[in-house]
Amino acid sequence: MLLSERAKHEGLIIVDLQNDFCPGGSLAVEGGDEIVGAINSIAPSFPVVVATKDWHPAGHVSFASSHAGKQPFDSVSVSYGEQVLWPDHCVQGSAGAEFHPELDLRPINLVLHKGTRLDLDSYSAFFENDHATPTGLDGYLRGLGIRHIVVCGIATDVCVFFSVTDALRLGYEVSVVQDAVRGVDQPEGSVSRALDTMRTHGARVVAASEL
Ligand code: VGL
Ligand code: ZN
């Protein structure tokens, strides 16, 4: 596929394309591995590519195993509100936290690790779940003159969703690549609700072929 060069102010964000979110991983998202090819083909045309990694210490607050009597998908109330609990996933340095082996790392400018604090989760690439602590990504992108971000990766209804809504709030133009995202869909229907809400907030939902 021959892709035209993107404009200088367009950045690609690849969200959490890690083994634990792909089939066989501890928090596997159906079809998570199917989007790697599309991402590899679009990434080289962007002047700036950021890939995020969910990167939790063992015993992280978002793990059900850290809370006595709790199961994955239960929630607990923490200092910054309700925290959904997940199976242990993306533990720092583990194989599950590595990028999917077929993801082409060559076009990536920045790898951003998030969710690194024991007591604070981070779904969004821009702010931790207290919605106040920045990850630094906004400053990085602004410093490079990026005004339009194109988002792909996992999970449509979790980290992609919060990254997109934060980016819109920060004033970026945002496109979501529908065939290059996959979601947890727990409870069922949350992927289509997330896409609708992102559209309502002003995101464009596009196909990779339209880029
Ligand atoms: C994610 C659940 C927990 C994600 C990360 O990458 O969407 N989901 N941690
Ligand atoms: Zn996580």
Ligand 1, from 17, 27, 94: best to mutate by most atoms within 8 Å of Cβ? 27
Residue nearest atom 4 of ligand 1, based on CA coordinates: 159
Decide if 47 contacts 6 (C-beta within 8 A): yes
Residues with Cβ within 8 Å of 125's Cβ and at least 6 positions away in sequence, in order, are 13, 15, 50, 52, 112, 114, 135, 137, 159, 163, 166
What band does 3 get if pLDDT is binned at 50, 70 and 90? low
Across residues 154-172, what is the average pLDDT?
A: 97
Per residue in 90-127, is it b (16+ CB within 10 Å) or e — as a string?
A: bbeebebbebbeebeeebbebebebbbeeebbbbbbbb
Domain boundaries, the chain: 5-56+92-210
Tell me, which fold does domain 5-56+92-210 have in CATH? Rossmann fold (3.40.50)
Q: What is the mean pLDDT of the chain?
A: 95
pLDDT tops 70 at residue 124? yes
Query: Minimum-distance ligand to the CA of 72?
Result: 1
User: By alpha-carbon position, which residue is closest to atom 8 of ligand 1?
Assistant: 158
Catalytic status, residue 159: yes
At 2 the pLDDT is 47
Residue 186: pLDDT band (50, 70, 90) is: confident
Whether the CB of 157 sits within 6 Å of ligand 1: no
In this predicted model, what pLDDT tens digit does every residue of 26-81 receive, in sequence order? 999 999 999 999 999 999 999 999 999 999 999 999 999 999 999 999 999 999 99
3-state per-residue secondary structure call for 68-94: CCCCCCCEEEECCEEEECECCCCECCC
- Joined tokens for residue 96: 């599950």
pTM attached to this predicted model: 0.96
Active site residue 152: no
- Tokens matching residue 79: 């200092």
Do 137 and 170 touch, CB atoms closer than 8 A?
Answer: no
Quick check: is 104 catalytic?
Answer: no
- Asked whether the predicted pLDDT for residue 1 surpasses 80, the reply is no
- Residue among 180, 176, 149 at smallest CA distance from 48: 149
Using 50, 70 and 90 to split pLDDT, how confident is the model at 6? confident
Is residue 149 lining ligand 1, measured as CB closer than 6 Å?
no
Average the pLDDT over 110-138 and give the result: 95
Looking at 53, 114, 152, 166, which residue is catalytic? Answer: 114
pLDDT at residue number 4: 62
What percent of the chain shows pLDDT beyond 70?
98
